[in-house]
Amino acid sequence: MSTENVSAQRTATGTTDWKAGVLGGIAGALVMGGLMLVMNDAVLAVAIPSLYGLAPPANPGLGLFVHVSHGAVLGVAFAGLAQALSIRETNRLVGLGVAWGVVIWIGLAALLMPVWLDVVGSPASPPLPNFAPPSLLWHVVYGLVLGLVAAVAKNQA
């Protein structure tokens, strides 16, 4: 009986973790998307939908949908990382979220995205590498919101 309860608890915790990651990823991507719309709407309207051949023409709504989808998936990966590192405290999850945002900025935004946009022939192809400071800010904010919302969601479960 004792073994059964421990197993059920582990399964429930794993489910809570990925759901918290999805919620945090969506929230972070929405806040980040708002910053992008205010600071450089072409990234959201052209560059992001161009990754999948969905722009031009510019379409910020479609760009936001794609961006939030990416944010949700990256939120699940964040939850898996936090679980693997046994990080559960709010302040540590927020710190990990900020670090995760920086890692995403370097690996995906600065290195992968310029190559991908060039391969698909996007008119929004940035230089490689694309270490744009506004993009760093956006990704740090994404990670901060991701970590905070994931922590709150885990504590509510």
Residues 101-119: tens digit of each pLDDT = 999 999 999 999 999 999 9
Beta strand residue intervals within 43-145, DSSP E:
none
pLDDT band at 78 (very low <50, low <70, confident <90, very high): very high
Cis before 126? omega within 30:
no
Domain ranges within the chain, ordered by starting residue: 2-156
Mean pLDDT of 44-61: 95
Question: How far apart (Å, rounded) are the C-alpha atoms in residues 86 and 100?
Answer: 15
Q: Does the pLDDT at position 64 exceed 90?
A: yes
CA angle 137, 138, 139 (to 5 degrees): 95
Is the pLDDT score of 77 beyond 70? yes
Q: How confident is the model at residue 12 (pLDDT cuts 50, 70, 90)?
A: very low
Asked whether the predicted pLDDT for residue 87 surpasses 50, the reply is: yes
The pLDDT of residue 155 is 84
- C-alpha to C-alpha distance for 130 and 35, rounded to whole angstroms: 18
- For residue range 13-49, what is the model confidence (pLDDT) as tens digits? 566 799 999 999 999 999 999 999 999 999 999 999 9
Q: Is 59 helix (H, G, I), strand (E, B) or coil?
A: coil
